[in-house]
Amino acid sequence: MNFHTKPNTFVAQVNLKVQDLERSLAFYKEVIGFKVLEQTERTAQLTADGKTILLSIEQPENVEPKMGRTTGLYHYALLLPKRSDLAKIVQHFMEIGLRFGSSDHLVSEALYLSDPDGNGIEIYIDREPSEWHWNNGEVEMAVDPLNFPDLLSMGKQQLWKGLPSRTVMGHIHLHVSELEKTEEFYTKGFGFDVVSRYGNQALFISTGKYHHHIGLNTWNGVGAPAPSENSAGLQAYTLILDNEAARNRVIANLRKIGAAVTKENNQFITSDPSGNRILLQI
């Protein structure tokens, strides 16, 4: 099952603002294993397969360090094709002495780290959907320790060669200022289903019975402000919609609940109630 193709609505690309383009490029190429698709003096488009942009980074004029306790990016998540790919990148991280976090979420096995600006990154693989446990429309997820001996047995004698070409943007997890209006925005506006709730602090939403295409939390505080325009961090992310009719329907639904949708350079753009910018693509 492919949860990152149409007719599902899914995250395809994340655009970040960084303080130092060269520093970020070195990290994203040498540590994460991206290839550069296009580069200008202030921007770079990064790819795993040599043609699809997964991550765009930009160094704005008068850029400021990433602010704490604001809305915006918690992490974006790169989904690798196979478990052996995750084992290889663990070995690579260990060889270069990189510190990283990890977790077994039952539905997936994940690594956690941050880029030089403090933008959160998850790198993960999914377990087979047949192994996920659903109960009353909610998927069971946990934060268990990752079994490294078992994982690393998958990647022995295999050389890390960067991100596999079939890597996709698996999901995005956002800091938001509150959950009620945010839930309405994503469920009524876009048609996402809530598939997991973490008390009254976080919720996870998806289409097509995925464990989550988007995570939303208030861990930076209810009422957290949006970061400044020039702050390093999330600039926008892209949601892929099935077709033009689906996009028109989403735009109408968003406007019905009071959300603004604008068109810039032939691109439809909206923002969630916490100011996280979303590009609507088909």
Percent of the chain at pLDDT exceeding 70: 99
Q: What pLDDT does residue 192 have?
A: 98
Q: Indicate if the pLDDT at residue 154 is higher than 90.
A: no
Tell me what the pLDDT averaged over the chain comes to.
96
Q: What pLDDT does residue 157 have?
A: 64
Q: What pLDDT does residue 155 have?
A: 62
Q: What pLDDT does residue 269 have?
A: 98
Q: What pLDDT does residue 159 have?
A: 86
Q: What is the mean pLDDT of residues 237-261?
A: 97
Buried b (16+ CB within 10 A) or exposed e, 220-230: beeebebbeee
User: How far is residue 31 from each of residues 77, 203, 218, measured CA to CA in Å?
Assistant: 15, 30, 30
Q: What is the mean pLDDT of residues 23-50?
A: 98
Of 275 and 157, the one with more pLDDT: 275
pTM: 0.97
Q: What pLDDT does residue 248 have?
A: 97
Left, alpha or beta for 37 (phi > 0: left; psi -120 to 50: alpha)?
alpha
How do residues 115-137 score in pLDDT, each as one tens digit?
A: 999 999 999 999 999 999 999 99
Q: What is the mean pLDDT of residues 199-216?
A: 97
pLDDT band at residue 213 under the 50/70/90 scheme:
very high
Q: What pLDDT does residue 73 have?
A: 98
Q: What pLDDT does residue 63 have?
A: 96
Q: What pLDDT does residue 267 have?
A: 95
Q: What pLDDT does residue 11 have?
A: 98
Q: Indicate if the pLDDT at residue 138 is higher than 80.
A: yes
Q: Is 81 exposed, middle or buried (0-12, 13-18, 19+ CB in 10 A)?
A: middle
Q: What pLDDT does residue 158 have?
A: 75
Q: What is the mean pLDDT of residues 129-157?
A: 92
